[in-house]
């Protein structure tokens, strides 16, 4: 029997994605200026768009104090991390950032990673093995799902937000160590996990509750300490949580924050920590400046939540279908992939950049425009976006009616 051709396989996969309107395209960003971006069009010509698909929730990625910290540290310490943390890559700036994050989130210790994906791999693979179980929300981020699969443990997924379902699955898998893992804020729906109920389920089953709070820290809770703090849960109840540094904090990388013994276990055993180069010290300096701003400048969260309320009110008036979210992630539901793409294209023609999110990132028939709000936006920006969304919806519906008549 002849060996299968990899070229034929990838060509078939591409054709299948194209037929389903699921090809993805890289869009070079030529310049960023606040909430505006110069983006290359099909011909490579730059076009200024008002960005509503960034995760820069607090508007810190271009803050002068953050950029100055980056430039100053780079001029003194260089551009790279030069080695893994355990060889010679652990800089004093890394140490200072870890201590600042731990203090902010009220935990004994923090540990830096190159990305949230790597951090999730590290946590699950270091703590679980073949005889263990990882129980997860069905809408968890892909990195948590992949982490459990690569760890070799039993992966069980409960219906979204169903703490009773989580408890049932943990009871059914009584042997070995158990971990209950959930997003704090779900990246595509924008809703918040029922963390108090999940903490109770984990305690009853003697499981470790791990919260990926990538989209919560900086935005939710007192002083922006995230969904765990908003739920008034301690390190005893949530021994580990993930903080990404590239969303509300505007930088790059991630940290796992929590119980000191667990963090030390990651230092000693987590392959994605041991066998990779440390973040550049200059990036740690920039994030350290961003954390201090996020902790002290509550007006950014106040403005953000004012914009969220304004968007939801205007969207309701326009008859747009939203998911129940009180966070900066405001999904506008489209249904079909083709309709989502049509609406995104119409928005771009009107000067707005909003990403069309399609399966497999979201379930079949649940394609959407993922609107994300930032403290960089204004009420006028939101008003213009909602008007453009209404026009894009009407155009997509007209196109769908014509397509139906031509069948």
Residues with a catalytic annotation lie at 187, 215, 247
The DSSP bridge pattern shows strands 254-258 and 240-244 to be: antiparallel
Cβ contacts of 279 within 8 Å, gap of 6 or more: 81, 94, 112, 114, 252, 253
Show the tokens assigned to 204.
């009853």
**Helices H, strands E: what count in the chain?**
14, 14
Binding residues for substrate: 24, 141, 361
Say if residues 198 and 169 touch (Cβ distance below 8 Å): no
∠ Cα 187 383 362 (to 5°): 20
**Cα separation of 125 and 317, whole Å?**
47
Phi, psi dihedral angles at 295 (to 5 degrees): -70, -35
Show the tokens assigned to 196.
């108090």
How far is the CA of 182 from the CAs of 68, 140, 240, 407, in angstroms? 35, 6, 11, 43
E strand or H helix that includes residue 31:
strand 29-33
Which among 236, 241, 237 is positioned nearest to 215, based on CA atoms? 241
Say if residues 183 and 191 touch (Cβ distance below 8 Å): no
Binding residues: 24, 116-117, 141, 187, 215, 244, 361
- 3-class DSSP assignment, residue 326: coil
Cβ contacts of 365 within 8 Å, gap of 6 or more: 335, 336
Binding residues for pyridoxal 5'-phosphate: 116-117, 187, 215, 244
């Amino acid at each position: 029997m002849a060996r299968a051709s990899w070229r034929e396989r990838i060509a078939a996969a591409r054709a299948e994605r194209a037929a389903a309107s699921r090809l993805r395209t890289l869009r070079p960003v030529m310049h960023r200026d606040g909430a505006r971006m110069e983006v290359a069009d099909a011909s490579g010509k730059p076009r200024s768009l008002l960005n509503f698909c960034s995760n820069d929730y607090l508007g810190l990625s271009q803050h002068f104090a953050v950029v100055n910290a980056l430039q100053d540290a780079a001029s003194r310490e260089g551009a790279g991390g030069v080695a893994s943390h355990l060889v010679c890559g652990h800089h004093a700036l890394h140490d200072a950032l870890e201590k600042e994050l731990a203090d902010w989130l009220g935990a004994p210790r923090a540990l830096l990673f190159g990305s949230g994906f790597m951090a999730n791999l590290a946590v699950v693979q270091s703590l679980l093995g073949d005889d263990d179980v990882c129980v997860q929300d069905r809408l968890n981020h892909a990195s948590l799902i992949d982490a459990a699969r690569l760890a070799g443990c039993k992966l069980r997924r409960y219906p979204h937000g169903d703490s009773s379902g989580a408890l049932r699955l943990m009871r059914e898998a009584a042997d070995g160590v158990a971990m209950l893992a959930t997003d704090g804020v779900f990246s595509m729906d924008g809703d918040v996990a029922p963390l108090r109920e999940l903490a109770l389920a984990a305690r009853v089953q003697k499981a470790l509750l791990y919260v990926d709070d990538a989209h919560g820290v900086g935005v939710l809770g007192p002083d922006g300490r995230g969904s765990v703090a908003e739920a008034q849960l301690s390190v005893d109840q949530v021994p580990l949580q993930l903080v990404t540094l590239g969303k509300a904090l505007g930088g790059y990388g991630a940290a796992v924050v929590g119980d000191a013994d667990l963090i030390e276990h990651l230092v000693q055993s987590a392959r994605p920590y041991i066998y990779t180069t440390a973040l550049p010290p200059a990036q740690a300096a920039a994030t350290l400046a961003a954390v201090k701003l996020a902790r002290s400048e509550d007006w950014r969260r106040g403005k953000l939540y004012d914009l969220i309320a304004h968007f939801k009110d205007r969207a309701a008036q326009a008859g747009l279908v939203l998911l129940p979210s009180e966070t900066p992630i405001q999904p506008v539901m489209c249904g079909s992939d083709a309709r989502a793409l049509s609406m995104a294209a119409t928005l771009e023609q009107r000067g707005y950049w909003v990403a069309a999110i399609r399966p497999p990132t979201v379930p079949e028939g649940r394609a959407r425009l993922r609107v994300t709000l930032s403290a960089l936006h204004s009420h006028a920006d939101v008003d213009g976006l909602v008007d453009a969304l209404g026009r894009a919806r009407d155009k997509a519906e007209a196109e769908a009616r014509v397509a139906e008549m031509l069948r």
